[in-house]
Amino acid sequence: MHETEPLLSEHDVQEIIQKDKDHLWHHLVQHKTFASQDPRIFVEGEGVRVRDIHGNEYLDGASGGVWCVNVGYGRESMARAVYDQLVQLPYYAGVAGTVPAAQLADQLAEILSGLDRVYFSSSGSEANEKAFKMVRQIAHLNGGAKSKVLYRDRDYHGTTIACLAATGQPERREAYGPFPEGFVGFPHALCYRCPFDLSYPDCNIECARALEDVVQREGPETVGAVIVEPMTAGGGVIPPVDEYYPILQEICAKYDLLLIIDEVVCGFGRTGKMFGFEHYDVAPDIVTMAKGMASAYAPISATAVRSEVFDEFLHDPSDTYDYFRDISTYGGCTGGFAAALENLRILEDEQLVENARVVGGYLLDCLRELADHECVGDVRGEGLLVGVELVADKSSKRPVSEGVMNSVMRKINEEGVLVGRTTRSFPGLNNTINIAPPLIATKADVGEIVAAVKVGIEHECSAT
């Protein structure tokens, strides 16, 4: 870990830590741990690196912890774009338009060719909620019952009750029921732990075909949509095989289902293409996005749809109920649009999507060199979204314990690198290290990440 001069005096440091401990409710954290250790508090960032309140510098292999800061830290042009827009007009509700909203919708429609209508909101969960509401209202408008949404095991779609209902991670849902009806799961697409105990390529891609069984079981007249992450991210970094999406698409076409692709993590270059679904031969009807959209310099999300979806909501203006009766107050914040526009400019001018592809390929190659270690069960990913699954026994694929995962993560941190891991997602399978640095990362940066991961695994992990 690289120590630098702290930005604050020791007195101020202690005061902030105390205020944090006394009043801040951290996300996803058991606060009892703060009885014996201080919370981590970050102070500044530059490029791919962040500094904590004590002056410790880390290479951020998690892009802000949850894969958001795609263009990296300390971008003055991002801050200036937001500042200029806020001074001119900070906000107007989405019932009206604003200049940056129109510009951003136009640019997204061009990038997403075929999905030419964009609805803005302020978080990934909200973007998915909009998609679910669209599906339900279309069913209602058509006087039918095609309102169910099918989701894939191990995928995550957000923190609200409906998004959790559509999330294939039982440990995230536990304790938050009862859930609304109308969300039904189908099998995941991880070859390493094939839900059908088959081996690719002789498996007939049963994981994709299983969707049809679920549609049949539920009754095709009740199912309106399927939601998937293009590649499962937080549930263990799972890029499906090439044949997967054409099969899914065929089933959607056969039963008249909308295909919703949740690009909240994969969107905006993370996987080496602008959107994750572009790796596959597939054409979604609805695409949701957030995180990398403005690299978290301002909150913003969107739900982009094909014109056929939008047209379902076009009716005689005297009818007061048939339009999409949804609003997102902060979906009108112009700072988010300005940040997203500048984010797109940076991605393009600095060719960061291509960088994610090239440097991500290098990262995957380097990590695959760790595959001989007795605890490395699987290494998988695409672009700068890579996972390393740790096992205690390679032949049975028994996952390492929670204690080992924690020790590995601690050691990687001590080496001055921050990475993520699956937590409280799929029962017994919270054993994947997630690596997703900002898209500006160089080969030298990912070399540093791999070296730290190697130390973590070699010091803390052995077969049992």
Least separation in angstroms between residue 68's CB and ligand PLP is: 9
**In the chain, what are the helix, strand and coil shares in percent, each to the nearest 5?**
40, 20, 40
Based on CB atoms, which residue is closest to ligand PLP, 131 or 376?
131
Least separation in angstroms between residue 326's CB and ligand PLP is: 16
- Report the residue number whose CB is nearest to ligand PLP: 124
What is the contact mask toward ligand PLP in residues 203 to 232, using x (rule: CB under 6 A)? --------------------------x---
Length of the chain (residues): 464
From 109, 111, 71, 130, select the one nearest 331 (Cα to Cα). Answer: 130
Please state whether 272 falls in left (phi above 0), alpha (psi between -120 and 50) or beta: left
What is the contact mask toward ligand PLP in residues 36 to 75, using x (rule: CB under 6 A)? ------------------------------x---------
Q: Which of residues 268-307 bind ligand PLP (CB under 6 A)?
A: 290
Least separation in angstroms between residue 387's CB and ligand PLP is: 14
H/E segment holding residue 10: helix 10-23
The dihedrals phi and psi of 214, each to the nearest 5 degrees, come to -70, -40
The dihedrals phi and psi of 14, each to the nearest 5 degrees, come to -65, -35
From 338, 373, 350, 346, select the one nearest 98 (Cα to Cα). Answer: 338
Scanning 236-244, 257-265, 347-355, 411-419 for contacts with ligand PLP by CB under 6 A, the matching segment is 257-265
**What interhelical angle do 334-349 and 352-368 show, nearest 10?**
70
Q: Is 264 in the site for ligand PLP (CB under 6 A)?
A: yes
Least separation in angstroms between residue 235's CB and ligand PLP is: 9
From 70, 58, 3, select the one nearest 441 (Cα to Cα). Answer: 70
Scanning 119-127, 198-206, 276-284, 428-436 for contacts with ligand PLP by CB under 6 A, the matching segment is 119-127
Least separation in angstroms between residue 148's CB and ligand PLP is: 19
From 258, 294, 289, select the one nearest 134 (Cα to Cα). Answer: 258
Based on CB atoms, which residue is closest to ligand PLP, 230 or 360?
230
- Among 73, 120, 156, 244, which residue sits at the site for ligand PLP (rule: CB under 6 A)? 156
Q: Is 234 in the site for ligand PLP (CB under 6 A)?
A: yes
Please count the other Cβ atoms lying within 10 Å of the Cβ belonging to residue 151: 25
Q: Is 124 in the site for ligand PLP (CB under 6 A)?
A: yes
Least separation in angstroms between residue 119's CB and ligand PLP is: 15
**What interhelical angle do 244-255 and 206-218 show, nearest 10?**
20
Least separation in angstroms between residue 67's CB and ligand PLP is: 7
- Among 265, 363, 376, 409, which residue sits at the site for ligand PLP (rule: CB under 6 A)? 265
- Among 158, 182, 360, 438, which residue sits at the site for ligand PLP (rule: CB under 6 A)? 158
What is the gyration radius of the CA atoms in the chain, in angstroms? 22
- Among 48, 164, 166, 233, which residue sits at the site for ligand PLP (rule: CB under 6 A)? 233
Least separation in angstroms between residue 270's CB and ligand PLP is: 11
- Three-state SS for 243-282 is CHHHHHHHHHHHHCCEEEEECCCCCCCCCCCCCHHHHCCC
Is 5 strand, coil or helix? Answer: coil
Least separation in angstroms between residue 290's CB and ligand PLP is: 5
For every residue of 285-301, DSSP letters joined together read: SEEEE-GGGTTTSS--E
Q: How many chain residues bind ligand PLP (CB under 6 A)? A: 16
Q: Which residues contact 144 (CB under 8 A, 6 or more apart)?
A: 221
Based on CB atoms, which residue is closest to ligand PLP, 104 or 366?
104
Q: Which residues contact 256 (CB under 8 A, 6 or more apart)?
A: 146, 220
Least separation in angstroms between residue 152's CB and ligand PLP is: 11
Q: Is 125 in the site for ligand PLP (CB under 6 A)?
A: yes
Scanning 102-110, 260-268, 377-385, 446-454 for contacts with ligand PLP by CB under 6 A, the matching segment is 260-268
Residues of the shown chain interacting with ligand PLP in the complex, contacts defined by CB under 6 A: 66, 123-125, 128, 156-159, 229, 233-234, 262, 264-265, 290
